[in-house]
Amino acid sequence: MDLKRKISIAVIRRLPRYYRYLSDLLKLDITRISSKELAARMDITASQIRQDLNCFGGFGQQGYGYNVELLFNEIGKILGVDSGFNTIIIGAGNMGQALANYGNFEKRGFRLVGIFDVNPQIVGKRIKDIQIMHFDSIDEFIKNNRVDIAILTIPYNATPAVAEKMARLGIKGLWNFSPMDLKLPYDVIIENVHLSDSLMVLGYKLNQKYRRQA
Amino acid sequence: MDLKRKISIAVIRRLPRYYRYLSDLLKLDITRISSKELAARMDITASQIRQDLNCFGGFGQQGYGYNVELLFNEIGKILGVDSGFNTIIIGAGNMGQALANYGNFEKRGFRLVGIFDVNPQIVGKRIKDIQIMHFDSIDEFIKNNRVDIAILTIPYNATPAVAEKMARLGIKGLWNFSPMDLKLPYDVIIENVHLSDSLMVLGYKLNQKYRRQA
DNA sequence: TAGATTGTTAATCGATTAACAATC
DNA sequence: TAGATTGTTAATCGATTAACAATC
């Protein structure tokens, strides 16, 4: 994983997709694949695959292609699936619970270590072995436990203040589900999920296709 | 909205973001804004804003800038927030319920008209005035109601078959939450949401910054 | 009017694709 | 070995940024 030059975010965002396709190939007991065939499956060019992978190293072999398991593991390493990130969920509403129950994150290196909410009706309940704690106890919790990432599934208006609090408590990464672009005067890394943006793009495409503008 | 040339998907995907920022400006009672100032707020270039907007028409005025409300409405029209898309949710687990309860979609032109599940424990319950129906009754429902978009919040393995069924029933758009790239031999428009991809990118960035590779 | 800012063309930059020598 | 396919350089394409005349 040399750092000769900065790897573009476009490449990074494709890595999880490669990871998914390689995972599928593994499940199909396919042990080797050429960039050409993988490209066909993924609907991209073989050139792009080879360029992308060579940002991180030469994982293939001339005349042979790529060993699926090896490549899967290498991309996993690049993405840090063996990093064991400790995460907490702030906001145990439907979205928070959905994410808490989603088993895939664990497989990808994200361990859920705490869930917080302000609603006394919810505090104390268990989700996946984890008892929901009151948000008031979060300072204490973070003091006593390593927490890398806070997942924010809280109401829109609460988000900026809670995010700032997380940053001040030393959290390194925020995964934000409120429809806003979080920006903080701390060097915390933020990844925003914009669900309604995605839905609106779908709406746009439908209108384009069916000219159903109201 | 002339169609002189195809508008790139990169531009389209920025539109909801413009829409959000303009909505914020409206709430702040700001009535006009220059591309320069909006650019500063959004952390992009003024050039990009003017280029993007001029794909759809000249909404500004030399020497003045853009009228916030007018621009907001125009982008809304482009995105079809007044199209009144009828949507159904398939899968009333936590994710399905989270989306059902999320008020923002309605504001953006997406009306929820049905929720379906296969779990008899859940069928019959109400979410937001809508009684959860059994998935078996979906053919009937779609026959009797216009449904534009199906939101798929169902288990991974169930997704391809359900998606195909939706396409065969004439649904025009699918919003898929399973971590796979849905592809169907129908001309249905699909928008995939890849939550774990987003989380993995966050993980990558954290590793880059803190060199904490396990 | 003078100043500001757009709409739009031209220049630049970066990302994608093509090509091919290296090599398994 | 011959065939296949990579890694990598070069060419192309598209997207972003800069510049500026038009004009409010």
Q: What is the pLDDT of residues A47-76, one digit of tens each?
A: 999 999 999 999 999 999 999 999 999 999
**Binding-face residues of A in 8-47 toward B, CB within 8 A:** 12-13, 15-17, 19-20, 42-43
Using a 7 A cutoff on CB, list residues near strand D: A 34-36, 46-47, 50-51, 53-54, 58-66; B 8-11, 44-45, 47-48, 50-51, 61-64
Q: Strand C closer than 7 Å to the CB of A54?
A: no
pLDDT at B107: 93
Tell me: pLDDT of B196 over 60.
Answer: yes
Interstrand relation of A65-67 and A32-33 (parallel, antiparallel or unpaired): antiparallel
Question: What does the pLDDT average to over A182-194?
Answer: 96
Question: What does the pLDDT average to over A22-31?
Answer: 98
Question: Which 59-78 residues of chain A approach strand C with CB closer than 7 Å?
Answer: 61-64
Q: Which residues of B are less than 8 Å from A196 in CB distance?
A: 16, 102, 104-105, 108
CA of A205 to C1' of D21 (A): 36
pLDDT at A5: 67
Tell me: pLDDT of A2 over 80.
Answer: no
pLDDT tens track for B159-179: 999 999 999 999 999 999 999
Tell me: pLDDT of A3 over 60.
Answer: no
Question: What does the pLDDT average to over A14-29?
Answer: 98
Tell me: pLDDT of A1 over 90.
Answer: no
Closest CA to A157 of B75, B103, B93: B103
pLDDT at B22: 98
What is the token pair recorded at B208? 């880059």
Q: Which residues of A are less than 8 Å from B195 in CB distance?
A: 99, 102, 193
CA distances from A31 to A3, A51, A81 (A): 29, 21, 21
- Any CB–CB contact under 8 A between B95 and chain A? yes
Q: How confident is the model at residue B213 (pLDDT cuts 50, 70, 90)?
A: very low
Q: How confident is the model at residue B210 (pLDDT cuts 50, 70, 90)?
A: confident
Q: How many residues does chain A have?
A: 214
Q: How confident is the model at residue A103 (pLDDT cuts 50, 70, 90)?
A: confident
Question: What does the pLDDT average to over A141-152?
Answer: 98
Tell me: pLDDT of A4 over 70.
Answer: no
Contact B199 A97 (CB under 8 A): no
Burial class from Cβ neighbours inside 10 Å (0-12, 13-18, 19+) for residue A59 reads middle
Tell me: pLDDT of B214 over 70.
Answer: no
Nucleotide nearest to B45 (CA to C1'): D17
pLDDT at B118: 98
Q: How far apart are CA B119 and CA B96, in angstroms?
A: 13
Side-chain-facing half-sphere of A202: CA atoms under 13 Å: 29
Q: How far apart are CA B146 and CA A192, in angstroms?
A: 33
pLDDT tens track for B119-155: 999 999 999 999 999 999 999 999 999 999 999 999 9
pLDDT at A212: 52
Q: What is the pTM of this model?
A: 0.95
Question: What does the pLDDT average to over A89-108?
Answer: 95
Contact B17 A98 (CB under 8 A): no
- Any CB–CB contact under 8 A between B181 and chain A? yes
Q: How confident is the model at residue B5 (pLDDT cuts 50, 70, 90)?
A: low
Nucleotide nearest to A46 (CA to C1'): C17
- Give backbone dihedrals phi and psi of B158, rounded to 5 degrees, phi first: -80, -20
What is the token pair recorded at B100? 């059902």
List the beta bridge partners of residue A87: A112, A149
- Any CB–CB contact under 8 A between B98 and chain A? yes
CA of B35 to C1' of D18 (A): 15
Question: What does the pLDDT average to over A197-210?
Answer: 96
Nucleotide nearest to A39 (CA to C1'): C17
- Any CB–CB contact under 8 A between B160 and chain A? no
Contact B191 A201 (CB under 8 A): yes
Q: Are A159 and A95 in contact (CB under 8 A)?
A: no
Q: Does an H or E element contain B196, and which? A: helix B195-210
Closest-CA distance, B82 to chain A, in angstroms, reads: 6
pLDDT at B183: 92
Question: What does the pLDDT average to over A78-86?
Answer: 95
Chain B interface mutation, best of A157, A175, A200, A206, highest count of B Cβ atoms under 10 Å: A200
Q: How far apart are CA A142 and CA A140, in angstroms?
A: 6
Tell me: pLDDT of B61 over 50.
Answer: yes
pLDDT tens track for A109-135: 999 999 999 999 999 999 999 999 999
